[in-house]
Each structure stands twice: as C-alpha cells, then as structure tokens.
Amino acid sequence: MARFILHLSIVVVVLFSVPTHCQKKNESEGVIFLEEYDTLAKELQNRAVIAGWNYQTNLTDENAKKQVELNLEVAKFAKEAATNASEYDWENFSNVTVKRLFSMITTLGTAALEDEEKLEQLNNLLSEMEEIYSTGQACEYDDPKTCLDLNPGLEDCMADSTDYNRLLFCWEGWRDAAGRRLGDLYSQFVELSNEAVRADGWNDTGEYWRSWYETADLQQQLETIYQDLQPLYQNLHAYVRRKLINTYGAEMVNAEGPIPAHLLGNMWAQTWGNIYNLVIPFPDKPSIDVTDEMVRQGYDALRMFNLSDEFFREMGQIPMPDSFWDRTMFVRPDDRDVVCHASAWDFYLDNDVRIKMCTKVNQEDLVTVHHEMGHIEYFLQYAHQPLPFREGANPGFHEAVGDLLALSVSTPAHLNKVGLLPELVDDPEVDINFLMQMALEKIAFLPFGYLIDQWRWRVFDGSTTKDKYNEEWWKLRTQYQGIVPPVPRNPDKDFDAGSKYHVPANTPYIRYFVSFVIQFQFHEAMCTLSGYTGDLHKCDASAGAMKDVAGSRLAEMLRMGKSQPWPEAFEVLTGDREMSAAAILQYFAPLIDWLEKQNENETLGWNNGWTPPYDCEGTGGFTCLDGSRCVRPADKCDGIQDCDDNSDEDPILCETPNDDSPRMTSSLVVVFLAVLASTVMTSRN
C-alpha cells in the first residue's frame, strides 16, 4: 500500500573542527557551534537527499554509486560532528533546547561504524536490496517471457482477481522474485548494522530504533494497546473469513482456521479494502467508492494533488510552493525504472519538498495523495527548526498526521462537498458499509503493523537466527494476523519478510502501528476543536464552524517538530500525554456492535495448525517421482536437490530447449521420467 512512506532521516554533520582543550567548552561557545553546524549540515543533507531522489527516480548503477558516496560522506561528517560536540560540557548546560540538540548530534547510529570498508559495504547492501526489490518480476510459468512487475501488474492481480490459483501465482511469484534473492543479503546487513550501532553504545539495531520514542516502557505500552484492540480485529477476521468461505468454499478456507494469505486483496494481506465487494454488509445500499466518478469527471494525477492542496488551504495550512509542482513525480515515467512506493521528501533548503508516486486515478490513491501531502505540510511547518528537530515528534507522528487528514477526506460528507459523491444519504446501513470499508483498511492493518518490528527486533537481538527467519516470520503472522501461507514454505530458500518493501529498505515499521492509533486521537481532537458534535466517523474537520481553530492548533503541533519529547507535542493538539485505543474504538463503535451480532455463531480466533490444500501440478509445482513431496516452481531445476530421489533436478526435466527445437511440456516430462524410473526399478528387481 502507498500508505507506507519512506523518509530519508540521515544524520548530517559539519566539516569544521573544534580544538581539543583539557577544559570542556561552555554553553555560549556551544550555541555558536550549533549555529555553524546547522548551516553546513543542511547543505550536506540537501546533497544527500538529492542523490537519494535521483536514484529512486532513475534506477541506474551510476545513481546508486552516487547515493552510496553521499551516504559515506554523511557518515564521515557525523563522526566528526560527534567528536567535536564532545568537546563541550553539554550535559551540564542550562538551556534544555541546547542540551537536546547536542544529545541528538552525538547519537550516531549506523554512522558510528569505524571500519570504512564495512560502512561502504553496509550502504552497498542497502542499495542492492532496494534495487532487487524495485526491479523484481514474476514470470508466467507457461510463458517465461511474459513477466509482471509488482506495480501495477502483481498488485492489480491481488486486488482484482478471485481466481484462487491465479492469486497463488501472483503471491508466490513475487516472493520468489524478491524475497528469495534478499535473504543472504539481509543477514549480512543485520550483522553490519548491529556492529555499527554497538559502536554507538546500543545493544542492537532494534534497541537503537526504539530509543527514538524516548519512552522507557514503549514495548509494554504498545502491547497494552494491541490487547485492547484485539477483540475488534478478531471480530473483523471472523466475519471476513465467513465471507471468504462463501466465495472460495469450506475446503479452501476453514471456518476455525487462519485465512490463506493470498485471498485478502493485498500482496501482504496488510489491508483488505480490495475485497470489500466480497464482504460488503449491505450490498443493496450505496457504496462509498468514488473511483468511477473520478474517472467520469476526467480526473488525472495533477487534479488529485490540486484537490488535496485546496483541502490544506481550507484548514489554514501552508500552500504547496511552486517548486513542489515543478519537481514532484506524479506518475510512473515510461522511460526508466523507478521506485514506485509512494514517498514524501524534504530537501532541507529553499522550501524544496516533493512527492514521488506512481499515481492511479482511484479513491485509494486519492486518499494516499492527501496522506503524502500531510507529510509535506509537516515538512513546511517545521522548516524553521534546527536540522535535528526537523522530524516528527516521534516516528509515528509523521504517519499519523498524513492519515489524520485522510480520515476527514474519506468521509461521505467531504466527498460530497468536493463533488465526488453526488448524494449524501443518512442511513445506518450505509454507515455500516462505510465503517466496514474503513475497518478493512485500518483495523485489518493493526496486527501487521505491530508484528513486522516484533520480528525484526528478534532478528537484531539474535533470538531469531538466519535459519529461522522464515519460520519465525510465519509464526508471528499466524499468531497476530490469523493468516497462513497458501503453499508450504521452504525454510532453506524462502525469505518472505523480504517481499515487504520496508524490510530491504530498512524502514522501521512500528511507527505505522503507533500512527494508526494516535491518528484517531488526533482526529477526535480536531473534530472537537472544529466545533463538530456528531458521530466521530462522520466528522470532516475541514467543514466545522471553528475549523480555523482546529487548523491553528494542528499547525502549532507541527511547528514543534522534534524540539521536545513527543508527549509535549501530543498534548498541544489532544490535551493528553499518552497513547490510547479509546478513540479508535469510539470511531468504530457502531461496527463493533454490528460485528458482534453477526459473529454469534462464529469462532473468534483461529486454529494455528490448519493449512490450506493445494494442487501441486495445477499451480506450477512438480511432484517428486518417489511421491515424497511437491516441489514449488522456484525450487525446480534451481541446482539444489529438494526431492530425495533428485528428480527435481533431472537433466531431462531441466533442459531448456532452443526456440526452434521441439518442446516437451512439463506434464510429458513427468510421464517420461516416471516411465524411466519404472524401467530402472524393474531392471533392478
């Protein structure tokens, strides 16, 4: 999903040096140091982000090389800045802001790696993994010259098809194309990343990531919130499972088991909105999907972005600068490979902000556009801050702000206001349809958003070793999401975590779980401030009589950036200082009541031991001649023996004929090998 955003948060530093003295420098001198740091740091950050942008919008070896060079330059400067900052007695300074800046400058993360060759290797690994992910293709089993990119080909397949085996091809094909090629690289990355952060005083990379939240009991708080939300998820899961049984049959979807992961309309089963038509509560009532209306009105990507800009203007926020319209990548170019994953970019100088997105004209991307523009608005609001403070108050804030605004945009009231929903109907059943649509995006995502970094934290701390990567990945996915792989996974070859962009791109993911919780707290606060008094799920904060007050309070929070611990910024908008599931439960309250009634005879939860059946040859596989197992397409003829009798690597099976030579179909090869095996066995008897 485009929801998930890449932020280039690179620690940058300066080229000046501070002479060493026996006595550490004082606070006045420290302020001068920070001013010089900020000027030079922004210039370096700008060059680094430009290199990253050039690579992601034109995937060439030359651009990859330049990106690595800038990252190495950044790391070198970071070490110099940290060394220079240590010459100041900053821990005893009286000014809290100055102390906070020094603390952030002296925290290096992976830039602390002393061995420059290893640091270069670390950066090269990240570039290589991202390129593998961004250029992966799944090729048809019966026509290897016909291949599908992830976006749009495979994602459209997962979104649109209801053919069980076709969905299986798209699901498995992407994991073969991307995940399998990344496993060895990722284990090397983990080792180097841990070595780097240990040089900075952290036990492992996961501990370093969690430190960004400045919350000692972060994991306990998140677990409490997850437990509060689990009953809602289990009710949604049970309802959707029953509807999928109606579509695919009780043999393929078990009424008490986990759901096959390829049936939920999304490559990663992270959101389920694309199967809304299969699970809609009241199919005879209007649906809140304006895609057809957008097409009818001739919408294109630019018009979608202009509509979003108007929304921010209505809320009293900063308009997009002219350079944004000149430099943003609105659609996928035809002449080069790019990273299509939607992302918002801050270039740190001259109000240069951009979005990179392969926009399609549909409601999902309309919401994503507003989400990305929310990031841009955050960039613009805190642009006056010193560079270390030009981030969200915690990593979840940036994502929450984007989705906060999308919550208003998604309401029937707002879609009606902008002319995309011709008729606004006051009907409880229409409300349930709308809330189901939102739950398939928001509630379905929660366990996925929670588990990815649960897995990575265990990888980083060593409790999950390389040989257990895939096994532990699926244990967590079944435990939290109640899904199961549709075909057996190969523990020696599969690396399914790598099929999710944020893993090879090294983007921490718990931020999305945090954002999905606090965005509803933000939404509740914005609605109250705007003067709205109705049901929370119907609120469009941009339409309230006091929307200027709400917009002003939002801007006040955004302008703070990371200048203070996140509870301070949180309190500015919400009046609270703690994350809570209360607002999200209030938003979905009507749907919760409805689901509980629908599920009176359903099993909540799932039997972790159930796995779906599959047709080996019918899904491109190969049954070993001794009948011992099914070898999946990517394992056949890969040079590694999977069958005990080695029939999956038989030269006759694996021979690739010339274009003008007679071709033997896979089924005939199987028959031929079976006859051959029978002959050999007979002669031995």
Q: Say whether pLDDT at 538 is over 80.
A: yes
Q: Is omega for the bond preceding 428 within 30 degrees of 0, making it cis? A: no
The whole-number pLDDT of residue 83 equals: 87
**What percent of the chain has pLDDT above 90?**
63
Whether residue 682 lies inside any domain: the answer is no
pLDDT per residue as tens digits for the range 67-84: 888 988 887 888 888 889
Same domain, 276 and 299: no
Q: Say whether pLDDT at 89 is over 80.
A: yes
Query: Any idea which residue has 């397409």 for tokens?
Result: 633
Whether residue 313 lies inside any domain: the answer is yes
Please say whether the beta carbons of 663 and 657 come within 8 A: yes
Same domain, 165 and 68: no
pLDDT per residue as tens digits for the range 133-164: 888 888 888 888 888 888 889 999 999 999 99
| Binding site members for Zn(2+) | 371, 375, 399
Same domain, 362 and 468: no
Same domain, 556 and 575: yes
Q: Is 620 left (phi over 0), alpha (psi -120 to 50) or beta?
A: left
Please say whether the beta carbons of 472 and 464 come within 8 A: yes
- pLDDT band at residue 616 under the 50/70/90 scheme: confident
Please say whether the beta carbons of 247 and 162 come within 8 A: yes
Same domain, 205 and 166: yes
Same domain, 316 and 405: yes
- DSSP per-residue string spanning 159-215: HH---HHHHHHHHHHHIIIIIHHHHHHHHHHHHHHHHHHHTTT-SSHHHHHHHTT--
The whole-number pLDDT of residue 562 equals: 95
Same domain, 321 and 335: yes
The whole-number pLDDT of residue 378 equals: 95
- DSSP per-residue string spanning 30-67: HHHHHHHHHHHHHHHHHHHHHHHHHHHTS--HHHHHHH
The whole-number pLDDT of residue 238 equals: 97
Whether residue 566 lies inside any domain: the answer is yes
The whole-number pLDDT of residue 22 equals: 55
Whether residue 596 lies inside any domain: the answer is yes
What is the chain's length? Answer: 685
Q: Say whether pLDDT at 675 is over 70.
A: no
Query: Any idea which residue has 């809290």 for tokens?
Result: 96
What is the average pLDDT value for the chain, to the nearest integer? 88
Whether residue 467 lies inside any domain: the answer is yes
Least confident of 14-18, 44-48, 127-131, 589-593: 14-18
Same domain, 279 and 335: no
The whole-number pLDDT of residue 665 equals: 36
pLDDT per residue as tens digits for the range 268-321: 999 999 999 999 999 998 778 889 999 999 999 999 999 999 999 988 999 999
Q: What is the Cα–Cα distance from 113 to 109, expressed in whole angstroms?
A: 8
Same domain, 478 and 602: yes
What angle in degrees, to the nearest 10, is found between the helix axes of 395-409 and 510-529? 50
Whether residue 681 lies inside any domain: the answer is no
Same domain, 517 and 633: no
| Binding site members for chloride | 213, 511
Tally of domains in the chain: 4
Radius of gyration of the chain measured on its C-alpha atoms: 27
The residue-averaged pLDDT of 331-337 equals: 92
Q: What is the Cα–Cα distance from 373 to 352, expressed in whole angstroms?
A: 14
CATH number assigned to the domain comprising residue 208:
1.10.1370.30
Q: Domain containing 628: what range?
A: 615-650
- pLDDT band at residue 14 under the 50/70/90 scheme: very low
CA atoms within 13 A on the CB side of 570: 22
Q: Is 267 left (phi over 0), alpha (psi -120 to 50) or beta?
A: alpha
- If one counts every other C-beta atom within 10 angstroms of the C-beta of residue 492, the result is 11
Q: Say whether pLDDT at 679 is over 70.
A: no
Instruction: Give the residue from 46, 77, 106 where a domain finishes.
Output: 106
Same domain, 547 and 646: no
* Closest C-alpha among 6, 109, 112 to residue 343: 6
Distance of CA 36 to the CA centre of its chain: 36
| Binding site members | 213, 371, 375, 399, 511
Q: What is the Cα–Cα distance from 183 to 260, expressed in whole angstroms?
A: 23
- DSSP per-residue string spanning 96-158: HHHHHHHHHHT--GGGG---HHHHHHHHHHHHHHHHHHHH-EEEETTEEEEEEEIIIIIHHHH
Torsions phi, psi for 345 (to 5 deg) = -130, 135
* Beta-strand runs (E) in 595-672: 622-623, 630-631
Same domain, 591 and 643: no
The whole-number pLDDT of residue 663 equals: 33
* Closest C-alpha among 615, 622, 619, 614 to residue 668: 622
- pLDDT band at residue 656 under the 50/70/90 scheme: low
pLDDT per residue as tens digits for the range 51-63: 999 999 999 999 9
Whether residue 180 lies inside any domain: the answer is yes
Percentages (nearest 5) of helix, strand, coil residues in the chain? 60, 5, 35
pLDDT per residue as tens digits for the range 187-244: 999 999 999 999 888 999 999 999 999 888 999 999 999 999 999 999 999 999 999 9
The whole-number pLDDT of residue 374 equals: 92
Whether residue 660 lies inside any domain: the answer is no
**What percent of the chain has pLDDT above 70?**
92
The residue-averaged pLDDT of 361-380 equals: 92
Distance of CA 355 to the CA centre of its chain: 16
Does the pTM of the predicted model rise above 0.95?
A: no
The residue-averaged pLDDT of 325-352 equals: 93
The whole-number pLDDT of residue 542 equals: 87
Residues with catalytic roles: 372, 502
List all residues 6 or more positions away from 91 whose beta carbon is below 8 Å from its beta carbon: 99, 102
Q: Which position has the higher pLDDT, 209 or 659? A: 209
- Tell me the two tokens of residue 433: 């349809």
Please say whether the beta carbons of 369 and 305 come within 8 A: yes
CATH number assigned to the domain comprising residue 636:
4.10.400
